[in-house]
Structure 1
Amino acid sequence: MPEGDTVYLVGKRFDRALAGKTLLRGEFRVPQLATVDLAGREVLGVGTVGKHLFTRFSGDLTLHSHLMMDGMWDVYPAGAKWRRPGHHARVIFTAADTQVIGFRVHDLKLVATPKETDLVAHLGPDLLDPQWTEAHAAQAIANFTAKPERELGLALLDQRVMAGVGNLYKCEIAFLLGVTPWTPVSEVDAGRTVALARKLLLANARSGRFDQSTTGHLDRNRKNWVYERTRQGCFRCGGKLLVRTQGHDVQRRPTWFCPKDQHGPYPQQ
Structure 2
Amino acid sequence: MPEGDTVWQAARRLDTALAGQVLVTSDLRTPRLATADLRGRSVLDVTPRGKHLLTRVEGGLTLHSHLRMDGAWKIYPAGQRWTGGPAHQIRAVLGTGERTAVGYRLPVLDLLRTADEQRVVGHLGPDPLGPDWDAREALRRLLADPARPLGAALLDQRNLAGIGNVYMVELCFLSRVTPWLPAGDLADPEGLVATGERLLAANRERPVRTTTPPAVRDRARPPQRLYLYGRAGRPCLVCGTPVRVASVSHGEPGRERPAYWCPGCQRGPTPGRS
- TM-score band, normalised by shorter chain: over 0.9
Partner amino acid for 2:199?
A: L
- Runs of 4+ with >3 A deviation: 216-221
* One of 207, 212, 215 as aligned partner of 1:215: 212
SS of residue paired to 1:266: coil
Structure 1 residues 27-66: aligned runs within 5 Å:
27-66=27-66
SS of residue paired to 2:117: helix
In the alignment, structure 1 residue 194 sits paired with structure 2 residue 205:
no
* Whole-Å separation in 2 of the counterparts to 1:77 and 1:250: 39
> Deviation at 1:117?
2.3
Partner amino acid for 2:212?
A: T
* One of 233, 236, 239 as aligned partner of 1:237: 239
* Whole-Å separation in 2 of the counterparts to 1:257 and 1:110: 41
In the alignment, structure 1 residue 204 sits paired with structure 2 residue 208:
no
Which residue is 1:77 aligned to? 77
- What is the CA deviation profile of residues 71-121 of structure 1, one whole-angstrom value per residue up to 9, with x for unaligned ones? 100011111111211110000111111110011112211111121123211
SS of residue paired to 1:233: coil
Partner amino acid for 1:146?
A: A
Moved more, 226-235 or 191-200: 226-235
Which residue is 2:117 aligned to? 116
* Whole-Å separation in 1 of the counterparts to 2:88 and 2:156: 32
Partner amino acid for 2:263?
A: P
- What is the CA deviation profile of residues 147-178 of structure 1, one whole-angstrom value per residue up to 9, with x for unaligned ones? 00110100000001111100000000000000
- What is the CA deviation profile of residues 50-74 of structure 1, one whole-angstrom value per residue up to 9, with x for unaligned ones? 0110001011111111111111000
Which residue is 1:226 aligned to? 228
Which residue is 2:166 aligned to? 168
Which residue is 2:265 aligned to? 261
5+ residue gaps, structure 1: none
* Whole-Å separation in 1 of the counterparts to 2:239 and 2:258: 21
> Deviation at 1:208?
3.8
1:65–1:89 Cα change, 3 Å:
same
The answer (yes or no) to whether the contact 2:167–2:196 under 8 Å persists in 1 is yes
Which residue is 1:106 aligned to? 107
The two structures, once aligned, show a CA RMSD in angstroms of 1.6
The answer (yes or no) to whether the contact 2:76–2:100 under 8 Å persists in 1 is yes
Which residue is 2:20 aligned to? 20
The answer (yes or no) to whether the contact 1:226–1:233 under 8 Å persists in 2 is no
Percent sequence identity is: 44
* Whole-Å separation in 2 of the counterparts to 1:169 and 1:250: 20
Moved more, 215-224 or 99-108: 215-224
* One of 125, 140, 145 as aligned partner of 1:147: 145
TM superposition score normalised by structure 1 = 0.94
- What is the CA deviation profile of residues 176-208 of structure 1, one whole-angstrom value per residue up to 9, with x for unaligned ones? 000111011111122112111111111101x24
* Whole-Å separation in 1 of the counterparts to 2:163 and 2:237: 21
The answer (yes or no) to whether the contact 2:126–2:132 under 8 Å persists in 1 is no
Partner amino acid for 1:166?
A: G
SS of residue paired to 2:92: strand
> Deviation at 1:221?
4.2
- Number of residues paired by the alignment? 264
SS of residue paired to 1:251: coil
SS of residue paired to 1:250: coil
Which residue is 1:185 aligned to? 183
TM superposition score normalised by structure 2 = 0.92
SS of residue paired to 1:11: helix
1:144–1:131 Cα change, 3 Å:
closer
